[in-house]
Every structure is written in structure tokens, then in C-alpha cells.
Structure 1
Amino acid sequence: MEKILWELVQLVRQQSPLVHNITNYVVMNNTANALLAAGASPIMAHAKSEIQEMIGIAHSVVINIGTLDEYWSESMVMAAETAHSKGKPWVLDPVGAGATSFRDEVLHQLLPYQPTVIRGNASEIIALAKANTTVTKGVDSTAQSNEAVDAARSLVDQYKTIVCISGETDIILGNQQEIFIRNGHPLMTRVTGLGCSATALTGAFIGITEDKVSAVAAAMALIGIAGELAADESKGPGSLQVNLIDRLYTMTEQEFFNRLKIELK
């Protein structure tokens, strides 16, 4: 598995997949830069008049509901429907799921289009699956990733998707597959939008391979290891953000294998 993950990192750099993002405007710049540093090509577009054409040329689609409004939500549903109909892989980041009825309604409209990957924190995954009454605290998780495993499994079964529960340990669940990635650094939680960047990277990786579970694992490993390497040379969140982008760009095979902490079940 370790060898496969690094091969996928290299493949993204070689193929430069085009990733269409309808995402959180708080982090658009960071997300686009993370994609570029990893070797992918970002498109940040939400105009309904061009969504179908954009998705036609993109390798994958990322939908992040972080900063919803009525127009953007319609664009997201259109993008999900288009990706589904064209057979393009797409990622759903259900930011703040369970926090408001508006968010839950938008997610209710998006899920029938069977996202290839759902990536969120434990509270969001639990809320999305309606597994219990855990309350979402904005975009921060009030639950641990292992608490959301049953909720994630229900989503996998219902929507034929892959679920990535983000946290101190990233848990990736597919059909009969479980992967645990234990990379990352606590300082990463002090930079807004690194989770959104991880979701965007997931979009890049699922755009270049049919092995979608390994693609998700590669994306999570890449940003986690980049975060560790960046933290080693950073004084705080500001420098971490800059150094992480550099590490996505410069990471070597030896650094990847030396740091990778992965467990398969």
C-alpha cells in the first residue's frame, strides 16, 4: 500500500488533473495553492451558466458547503447532478452538517447524486448519517473520529461512497476496506481551511485513478506528512501555512516513507 500511495503522489504531479471546486470562499486562495503545489490544476467557479461545460473538461469535482447561500447551493446541486450524469468523480465536504436546517436541506439534495467521497470531521459525518444527536460546533468537531465509524459505514452502504473521517487519525472507509492514517500535527488545527485543502487534494487524487480508496489515503497522507514537516520549521500558524505549501511541492519519496503512519484493517 505504501508504494501505491507514493505512486499516486507522483501521478498527480505528472498528470496535473483539473479539479473543479465550488468551495468555501474563506479558503479559496489556500485551496487553489495547495492543489497547485501538489501538481494539480484548480478551477474555482460557481456560475450556473458554465458549470456543465466546466465539469465536462474537469477530471473531478469538489463541493464544499462551508459558505452557503441560495445561489451557491443551486450551483452545488447542479454540479453534483452533472458530475453524476457524466461519470465524473466528486467529493462532498459537508462543512457544518447538523448546524442549521439550511445546510441539512442542501446536503439532502446533494447526497442522492452519490458522491465518490464524503470527507468531514466526526461530528459532520454523524450528523450527515443522522446516527445520533451529537451537536456540530460550527466547522469544528465535537466528536472523535472513531465515534463516527458506524455513521460512516451507514453512508458507505447507503450511497455506495467512500467516507473519510478527519481527525487526529484519519479513518477511510470503503466497501470492505478500512485505512487509518495517523499523520499530521496539532498546529494544523490553528490554520483555517487546511481541512478544505485536504478535501480539494482528495479531488485531485480521485481524478487520476480508479483505485479511489487508495487515492483518498494518498491525499490524506500527503497533507498530513506535509503538515508534520512544515511544523518542524514553523514558529506558529502563519509560517506553518506557508511552509506546508512548500512541503507539498518539494516532498521527496524518502520524506514520505520515513513519515508515513498507515494501518489497514
Structure 2
Amino acid sequence: MKLSSASHLLEKVRADHPLVHHITNQVVTNFTANGLLALGASPVMANAKEEVAEMAQLADALVLNIGTLTKDTVEAMNIAGQAANEKGVPVLLDPVGVGATAFRTSAAKQLLQQVNITVVRGNAAEVAHLIGVDGWQSKGVDAKEASGNVSSLAKQAAKALETVVVITGKVDVVSDGDEVLSIHNGHEWLTKVTGTGCLLTSVIGAFCATGERPIHASAAALLFYGVAAEKAVQETKEKGPGTFQMELLNALSNTNGNDVMTLGKIGGVLHDEG
């Protein structure tokens, strides 16, 4: 994928103002909404099972985030996901903390069975748990340091789940089971602020709403988000992650296509993640 294509997709998102419907976790709702507004997309948060089907079909993308699950939430996600599938609306799954509890893991696998998921975005441990691969550890909803080949895991998961898989970490990797792309932007402070991963999934959703192939839409979103994070750090490096969180919102608004073309770093398969 060319950086110019990522730049073009960013401008298309801002021109189209896609509506991204979220059934997401309580911790990140406000930050996610503000982040999408900064990007130029339109967020909506609706999780009542009585309305999610209608809302999902009105939207340009649907994000399902299992961070704070309940039985009713899982039911609403299934209803919304199936309604989105009927309309051809891309559906993204953020399997937060999969592997931490049996309920969480079961819910994620149920969604993958009952809904046609366009993109799965998680850390390496979460993705590994989804496909039953050993050797990757998690702590609560956080991943421990990678202990294997992330590119191979992404490709294997994409084939097993029949979807595009995005694994975020020190280097972000995206695969559709055939092609593997790596994005080398971002900053460690993204791990010091609650909700940055969840917001990233929503940003990927906004890019998927453009109609571009999901692997390329995901890569473009990763490039944009990583560049924005780097710009935010430059503005706040003497202060800390609290200020970084607010500056990230500014950077999501101010980062443009030229920034992506100038600062974006994209590669192919990685061979030595571990």
C-alpha cells in the first residue's frame, strides 16, 4: 500500500463524515466520541437491544467492543451485527481482555460465529486466544510483551477467522490471510492512557466506511493514528501522558494527508518480532 493512498483515504473520511455506531465499553465512551469527532467522523453510542438493529443499519460502520460486558450487551451486539451484515455495513470487533475470563472469551467467539466481522483489532494475546494459540500471555485487559512472531500470528488468525486481523503493539501488523503489512508509527505513551486502543478500533471503522479494501483501510488508519500520536508526543514530551491524552485529540484533528505521506512508515512481513 502506498502512503499516497493512505493520505487519500484520510481526506475521504473527512469529506464523508461517516457515522460510526458503537456498542462499546463504559470506560472509553467519551474519549472515543471525542476522538472520532476530532478526526472528522460522526460517533453514535447506542446499546439498547430495542434500537441497535435500526441504528446499525443507519450507520456507515459498526464497532463492537467487549471491554465491559453484560449478558444484555452481548445480545445487543449480536442483533446489531446481524443487522449491519444485512445492509453490508462493515463490522469491527475489539476483543478486549479475551482470555481473561471464560465469559469474555465465549462472548467474543459467539460474535465471530454469528456475525460476519470485517476487522478484528486486538493485541497479540487477545488475537492468540481467539484462535487457541498458546505462548501469548495477557494480564487482565493488557498484553504482556510479545513472545512470538506477530506477523505469522496475524496471518494465521486472519485465515482462521476469515477476516482482516489487526494486531497492535510496538509495531502494528495487519493481514487478510495473504498479505501482511506492518506500520512502524506510534509511541509508547499510547499504552499509558486508557482507551487509545479502543479509539483506534473506531478510527479503523471510520476508514473502513470509505469502501476501501479492509486491509488497506486498516493500514491507512494505523498510519494516520500513529503519526498523530507522534505529533502529540512532540507537543507534550516534557509534561506526561495526561497532557498527551488531550493533545492526541488535537493531533487527530490537525494531522493531514501530507503528514501521513511525510511521516508514515509502512513495510511488509516482519521476521524477527520475538
TM-score (norm 2): 0.92
Q: Distance in 2 between matches of 1:165 and 1:6?
A: 22
Q: Distance in 2 between matches of 1:256 and 1:155?
A: 28
Q: Check conservation: 1:122, 1:145, Cα contact below 8 A.
A: no
Name 1:2's counterpart in structure 2. 3
Displacement of 1:133 after TM fit?
5.2
Displacement of 1:85 after TM fit?
2.8
Q: Say if 1:47 and 1:15 are closer, same or farther in 2 by CA, change over 3 A.
A: same
Displacement of 1:142 after TM fit?
1.7
Identity %: 41
Displacement of 1:123 after TM fit?
0.5
Q: Deviations over 1:46-92 (max 9, x none)?
A: 00011111011101100010011111111112122222233211100
Runs of 4+ in 1 over 4 A off after TM superposition: none
Give the SS at the match of 2:100. coil
Letter in 2 for 1:110: L
Unmatched segments (≥5 aa) in structure 2? 270-274
Instruction: Say if 2:112 is the partner of 1:124.
Output: no
Moved more, 252-261 or 65-74: 252-261
Name 2:272's counterpart in structure 1. none
Displacement of 1:153 after TM fit?
2.5
Larger RCO: Structure 1 or Structure 2 (Cα < 8 Å, ≥ 6 residues apart)? 2
Q: Check conservation: 1:145, 1:170, Cα contact below 8 A.
A: no
How is 1:126-205 mapped onto 2 (pairs within 5 angstroms)? 126-132=128-134, 134-144=136-146, 147-205=149-207
Give the SS at the match of 1:233. helix
Match of 1:238 among 221, 238, 242: 242
Q: Check conservation: 1:181, 1:263, Cα contact below 8 A.
A: yes
Give the SS at the match of 1:176. coil
Q: Check conservation: 1:121, 1:145, Cα contact below 8 A.
A: no
Q: Distance in 2 between matches of 1:67 and 1:20?
A: 17
Moved more, 8-17 or 154-163: 154-163
Q: Distance in 2 between matches of 1:241 and 1:177?
A: 33
Moved more, 86-95 or 161-170: 86-95
TM-score (norm 1): 0.95
Name 2:253's counterpart in structure 1. 249
Name 1:259's counterpart in structure 2. 263
Name 1:28's counterpart in structure 2. 29
Q: Distance in 2 between matches of 1:224 and 1:212?
A: 18
Unmatched segments (≥5 aa) in structure 1? none
Q: Distance in 1 between matches of 2:153 and 2:116?
A: 16
Letter in 1 for 2:265: K
Name 1:61's counterpart in structure 2. 62
Letter in 2 for 1:161: T
Q: Distance in 1 between matches of 2:15 and 2:170?
A: 30
Q: Check conservation: 2:154, 2:173, Cα contact below 8 A.
A: no
